Amino acid sequence: MPDIGRLRKRGNQEIVYDLTALALIGVYIWVFLWIAPAFQHVTRPLDAYSARMNAFGTCAFLLLTVILSIGPLVRLDPRFAPLLYNRRHLGVMTAAVAATHADAALDWYFSFSPYDRFEMLLRGNTSFQQVHGFPFELFGIFAFSVLVLLAATSHDFWLRFLTPRVWKTLHMLLYAAYASVVAHIALGALQAAANPLLAIVVLACATTVATLHIFASRRRAETAAIVGAWLDAGPVDAIAEDHGIVVTPPKGEAIAIFRHAGRLSAVTNLCAHQNGPLGEGRVVDGCITCPWHGYQYRLEDGCAPPPFTEKLATYRLRIAEGRVQVDPVANPPGTLVEPVTIP
Amino acid sequence: MTPFFIGWSARSGLRALGFLSPIVVALLTCFGALAFALAVVSDDPGGGDVIGEMRIEGTLIADPYPMIVTDAGHTILLSGGGKSGIQDEARPLDGKRVKAFGGHARRGDRDMLLVYELSAASGEGRAPTREPLGSWRLTGEICDGKCVLGVMRPGNKPVHKACANVCFIGGVPPVFVATTPVAGTRYLLMGGPDNRALPDAARDHMAALRRMDGTLERIGDAIVFRADIATAVVP
Ligand code: HEM
Ligand code: FES
């Protein structure tokens, strides 16, 4: 089977993206570990392991904040879309940064004892009944496990193996991981910090992520009205040439309706790649083009043009009194539905 | 029409650059500034440090935790390498004259020897001066003696709790860091009421502010706090 990722032409974007992400991490760690210490007001410097824990821990948290903000940002302003294109690489880099943090913690706090360091990580602190002194490491371990799981399954092989739906559900765990990191910091570092800056930064980041998601979710379409066995998708004029709209039926997946060369076609709103929102894409070169990674599908049958093999479910359309109506029953993926000509 | 970005198309990538390059620059600046700010506000870990090596001679006291009192009456806590104590080596030498060599950790007026070598010395052990100081209710933090004297910076507070427990489990002598000086010092050696090591229950009270009851005794020039862990409360 041809591999879409490999066959599609790759611009220099991926390299630019990865270099930018690495620069972000590089600048952060360099300033934290090599520039700032000269300006600290301390009797004696922190030891190198603690400094590394703090630098890489906070860096991983900030990267997670960026990653989780990209989705709603793109929804609010499509010009952010390029940030989404290689989000997976950013995720893998974040897992590596978090691993450096966890490794410093294990090497320092949990080593040098007669016992195994992983055993000590779990057995060292068992004060579950306390807030001030809670084994906050557990929240870190959970978050780290999620990051590793997602990094390990980030390749397109796993996407196909698990199906996009399962893969996407799995990636929702990232929200749990983020909440867990906030708990990790709140019950750990913040219990000891004399300066409120870390608390302020963590609160600001978590608030930003939450607010962006609330605003972006407001932009979701309302459930469409039912007309007999059909769904009302609004006036024909509301669909711009080469653009799409999203219709949400009372039950089942959202439907994307596109207008191209005076004709309308409907497919599922879920991209066959990573379930990206096709309705927010465009028609490019006569094909529906996903806003996330640019996978393309033919308007009439939802099939990716050869040599690609992805297929989308299609839907029947009709126009009644200047309004578009869609049959909410999906056709099997790849079913030919002749596009409806706009009168 | 707003531009539409397609990752695999070089043309649309270039168009995206106009909007995104200022955002990337802002992000880089923001990361640099945050790194600087977060690193600069690091808490002061205090003045403890490992200041070299030392060779000492004196009388060994094995309980509640191993220590050596020199002829000049200076009391030095003993710990093993890494996160382990040296109870097993010290026990047979209890009350005897010994010589020892190892790393030297110091914070304020408190010294600890991180023992590399410990053996009997010629001459008799000399009972150190002991002065009971009565019953006390003290507020402070139980820390692992090694880290708080400067082997790790910082070596206290909740982030360090699991680490302190790993030291405690390994037998490193705990030190009580009182919030205000007691009989002239903030760093008290610790033990249980029976003059043995602190019980396991102490782990729930490690590296966090607690108030607890106990008795004080001066041994050489150090104060030993024999604490009743069952009385520990959050002040
Ligand atoms: C196995 C997993 C982990 C372990 C064992 C662990 C352990 C620790 C420890 C011991 C500290 C206290 C360090 C100190 O202040 O001296 C800490 C702090 C922190 N951790 Fe983790 N951690 C883990 C995973 C994570 C992950 C996945 C993230 C973020 C994505 C994270 C972010 C942080 C942050 C931001 C701090 C506060 C640093 C500061 O004081 O400035 N940790 N962690
Ligand atoms: S989700 Fe990746 S191209 Fe649509």
Candidates B20, B84, B143, B166: best to mutate against A (most CBs of A within 10 A) is: B166
Cα B164 from Cα B158, distance rounded (Å): 9
* Portion of chain B with pLDDT greater than 70, in percent: 94
Examine the pLDDT at A12 and tell me if it is beyond 50.
yes
What's the mean pLDDT in A222-240? 82
Phi, psi of A341 (to 5 degrees): -80, 135
Token output for A157:
């092989």
Closest Cβ–Cβ partner in B38, B158, B170 for A192: B158
Examine the pLDDT at A342 and tell me if it is beyond 90.
no
Cα A331 from Cα A56, distance rounded (Å): 49
pLDDT at A3: 37
Examine the pLDDT at B5 and tell me if it is beyond 80.
no
Examine the pLDDT at B4 and tell me if it is beyond 80.
no
Examine the pLDDT at B94 and tell me if it is beyond 90.
yes
What's the mean pLDDT in B53-59? 95
Sign of the C-alpha dihedral, residues A111, A112, A115, A120? Answer: negative
- pTM for the complete prediction? 0.84
pLDDT (tens digit per residue) in B204-232: 999 889 999 999 999 999 999 999 999 99
State the distance between the two ends of chain A, measured CA to CA, in whole angstroms: 41
Examine the pLDDT at A70 and tell me if it is beyond 70.
yes
Examine the pLDDT at A209 and tell me if it is beyond 70.
yes
Examine the pLDDT at B45 and tell me if it is beyond 80.
no
pLDDT at B152: 77
Interface contact B84-A37, CB threshold 8 A: no
pLDDT (tens digit per residue) in A163-186: 888 888 898 999 999 999 999 999
pLDDT (tens digit per residue) in B65-77: 999 999 999 999 9
Which atom in ligand 2 lies closest to the alpha carbon of residue A275? 1
Examine the pLDDT at B32 and tell me if it is beyond 60.
yes
What's the mean pLDDT in A133-144? 95
Sketch the domain layout of chain A as residue ranges.
4-221, 225-341
Sheet holding A226-227, edge to edge: A226-227, A230-235, A323-326, A317-320
Candidates B15, B36, B38: best to mutate against A (most CBs of A within 10 A) is: B38
Sheet holding A287-289, edge to edge: A282-284, A287-289, A296-298
Are A71 and A83 in contact by the 8 Å Cβ rule? The answer is no
Examine the pLDDT at A139 and tell me if it is beyond 80.
yes
Kindly provide the residue ranges of all beta strands, DSSP E only, lying in A140-262, ordered along the sequence.
226-227, 230-235, 244-247, 255-260
- Tell me the ipTM for this assembly: 0.85
What's the mean pLDDT in A27-36? 97
Sign of the C-alpha dihedral, residues B7, B12, B14, B18? Answer: negative
Cα B23 from Cα B25, distance rounded (Å): 5
What is the overall mean pLDDT for chain B? 89
Pick the CATH number of A225-341 from 2.102.10.10, 1.10.540.10, 2.40.30.10, 3.65.10.10: 2.102.10.10
What's the mean pLDDT in B23-29? 95
* A65-93 burial code (b ≥16 CB/10 A, e <16): bbbbbbbbbbbeebbbbbbbbbbbbbbbb
Q: Whose CA is nearest to atom 33 of ligand 1?
A: A57
Nearest alpha carbon to residue B176 among B225, B221, B134, B217:
B225
The residues, any chain, with a CB within 8 Å of residue A183's CB and separated by 6 or more, are: A136, A139
Return the number of other C-beta atoms located less than 10 Å from residue A248's C-beta: 17
Token output for B13:
């990538």
Structural domains of chain B ordered from first start: 48-120 (2.40.50.140), 130-231 (no CATH)
Are A287 and A296 in contact by the 8 Å Cβ rule? The answer is yes
Are A47 and B155 in contact by the 8 Å Cβ rule? The answer is no
Choose the most confident range, by mean pLDDT, from A91-100, A269-278, A311-320, B120-129.
A91-100
pLDDT (tens digit per residue) in B107-163: 888 899 999 999 999 988 898 999 999 999 999 999 988 888 878 777 677 788 888
pLDDT at A2: 33
Cα A96 from Cα A75, distance rounded (Å): 28
User: pLDDT confidence of B1, banded at 50, 70, 90?
Assistant: very low
Q: How far is CA A279 from CA A254, A269, A308, A310, in A?
A: 9, 6, 20, 17
Q: How far is A251 from chain B (nearest CA, A)?
A: 30
pLDDT (tens digit per residue) in B97-109: 999 999 999 888 8
Examine the pLDDT at A338 and tell me if it is beyond 80.
yes
pLDDT at A33: 97
pLDDT at A199: 97
Interface contact B4-A291, CB threshold 8 A: yes
Chain A, window 131-150: residues with a beta carbon less than 8 angstroms from a chain B beta carbon: 132-133, 135-137
Are A55 and A27 in contact by the 8 Å Cβ rule? The answer is no
SS3 for A279? Answer: helix
Q: How far is B126 from chain A (nearest CA, A)?
A: 33
* DSSP secondary structure letters along B92-140: GGTTSEEEEEEEEEEETTEEEEEEEEEEE-SS---PPPEEEEEEEEEEE
Examine the pLDDT at B3 and tell me if it is beyond 70.
no
Q: Which residues line ligand 2 (CB under 6 A)?
A: A 271, 273-274, 276, 290, 292-295
Cα A313 from Cα A268, distance rounded (Å): 6
CA atoms within 13 A on the CB side of A74: 22
Cα pseudo-dihedral B13, B15, B19, B25, rounded to 10: 50
Examine the pLDDT at B9 and tell me if it is beyond 70.
no
Name the CA radius of gyration of chain A, rounded.
24
